Amino acid sequence: MASLPKGQPPNLQRPAVFLDRDGVLNEDSGYTFEVAKLRLISGAAWALKLLKQRGFLLIVVSNQSGVARGLFSTQQVDDFNHALDQRLREEHGTGIDAFYYCPYHPEGTVASFTKVSSWRKPEPGMVLQAQFDYGIQLEGSYLVGDRYDDIECAVRAGVKGIQVLAPGLVKHPLALSWVSSLAEVPALIPAP
């Protein structure tokens, strides 16, 4: 599932910073979907502004298996993404260029969303779809995520992975770097 701006042609050969959502941009409360519980992670909006000023597209790629598990709907994911984008814009004037998410899981309980999908990280389907939709130059692009599967997705897509580490998370050995929050990422990514 993707939400794209209307009437905007792809800008060929532009790099992107792909971002996991929960645990990177907003606090991860486990199957995060309630707009009322949306909490930005400190420094996230400022980091996005710096990355945008350097010319990167900002694209969220997020597993949302709660849809397949019957915990929330795709409309609730869209509503949360919209609220997140609005909050980021209010805080530092920079939002997300596009949201991609995978509502599928092979062990789901909602039949229409219970399947294996190339969009589910660690598979690179969301990144590759965004590349097609926006003409993104993968060489020179990054993926920032907190989970092992996020960095594995970066490896499989051919982009550099930066891992936001939280207690209990497993370090991916192929991450370009490990940081404590998105706020540290702009210092690691030069302008394209």
pLDDT (0 to 100) of residue 1: 61
Q: How far apart are CA 185 and CA 51, in angstroms?
A: 9
The answer to whether residue 143 is domain-embedded is yes
CATH number, domain at 171? 3.40.50.1000
Helices (H), the chain: 44-53, 74-92, 125-134, 148-157
- Specify the number of domains making up the chain: 1
Domain that holds residue 75: 12-187
The answer to whether residue 119 is domain-embedded is yes
pLDDT (0 to 100) of residue 50: 97
The answer to whether residue 192 is domain-embedded is no
Q: Which residues fall within 8 angstroms of residue 76, CB to CB, at 6 or more apart?
A: 33, 34
Task: Exactly one of 22, 85, 97, 150 is catalytic; name it.
Answer: 22
183 closest CA partner among 66, 42, 51: 42
The answer to whether residue 93 is domain-embedded is yes
Summarised one tens digit per residue, pLDDT across range 57-75 is 999 999 999 999 999 999 9
The answer to whether residue 127 is domain-embedded is yes
pLDDT (0 to 100) of residue 13: 80
Task: Exactly one of 20, 85, 146, 150 is catalytic; name it.
Answer: 20
The answer to whether residue 145 is domain-embedded is yes
Q: Which residues of the chain have pLDDT under 70?
A: 1-12
Is 133 considered catalytic here?
no
pLDDT (0 to 100) of residue 5: 44
pLDDT (0 to 100) of residue 12: 59
pLDDT (0 to 100) of residue 30: 86
